[in-house]
């Protein structure tokens, strides 16, 4: 299980970001036993934060986090940057810059920011830093807002197309 806590910023300035109902999301789902179980907090500048240690089961190169998990961490932070504004959106396009290897079992900090919106398109960015502030990875993405009431129908449709 990942250890996810408020960031190194003053905990007094951070508010927990509510997810709503329990769900099975790999990144933040509380009931997904094999997932990351990330917990995000919002600061006074509407940025989302997560401080976490990634366990060894998510290893890629020896001693370091797998690149797909790094992309997932960035995607989750950007998704939560939308969610804090009650925008439910799906990732349309994402770009990742792998700057330095991300160590396993060491505290890292993930920050996400909502940059702009144009209609249903929401532009976000995220960064993973070491506990001492060194930038390890960055991402930018475009999300498309969806009507949350449509999600059950999309799920049913995807099950029927199998």
Tens digits of residue pLDDT in 82-132? 988 888 899 999 999 999 999 999 999 999 999 999 999 999 999 999 999
Residue 95 in tokens: 């770009």
Residue-number span of the structural domain to which 112 is assigned:
3-160
Q: Are 24 and 32 in contact (CB under 8 A)?
A: yes
Residues facing residue 140 across a β-bridge? 95, 125
The mean pLDDT value of the chain amounts to: 84
Residue 21 in tokens: 């109902």
Q: What is the CATH number of the domain that holds 49?
A: 3.10.129.10
Number of domains in the chain: 1
Which candidate, 46, 95, 103, 43, places its Cα nearest to that of 74? 95
Tens digits of residue pLDDT in 27-86? 666 776 776 778 889 999 999 999 999 999 999 999 999 999 999 999 999 999 998 888
Which candidate, 105, 111, 104, places its Cα nearest to that of 133? 111
19 has a pLDDT exceeding 70: no
Q: SS3 of 128, please?
A: strand
pLDDT of residue 156: 67
């Amino acid at each position: 299980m990942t250890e996810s806590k408020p960031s190194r910023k003053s905990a007094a300035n951070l508010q927990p970001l509510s997810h709503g109902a329990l769900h099975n999301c790999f990144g933040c789902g509380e009931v997904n036993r094999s997932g990351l179980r990330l917990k995000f907090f919002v600061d006074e500048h509407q940025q989302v934060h997560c401080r976490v240690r990634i366990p060894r089961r998510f290893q890629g190169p020896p001693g370091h986090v797998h690149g797909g998990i790094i992309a997932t961490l960035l995607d989750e932070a950007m998704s939560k940057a939308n969610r804090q504004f009650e925008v439910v959106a799906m990732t349309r396009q994402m770009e990742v810059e792998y700057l330095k290897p991300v160590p396993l079992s060491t505290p890292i900090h993930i920050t996400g920011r909502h940059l702009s919106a144009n209609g249903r398109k929401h532009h976000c960015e995220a960064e993973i830093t070491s506990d001492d502030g060194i930038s390890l990875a960055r991402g930018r993405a475009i999300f498309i807002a969806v009507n949350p009431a449509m999600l059950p129908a999309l799920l049913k449709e995807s099950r029927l197309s199998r």
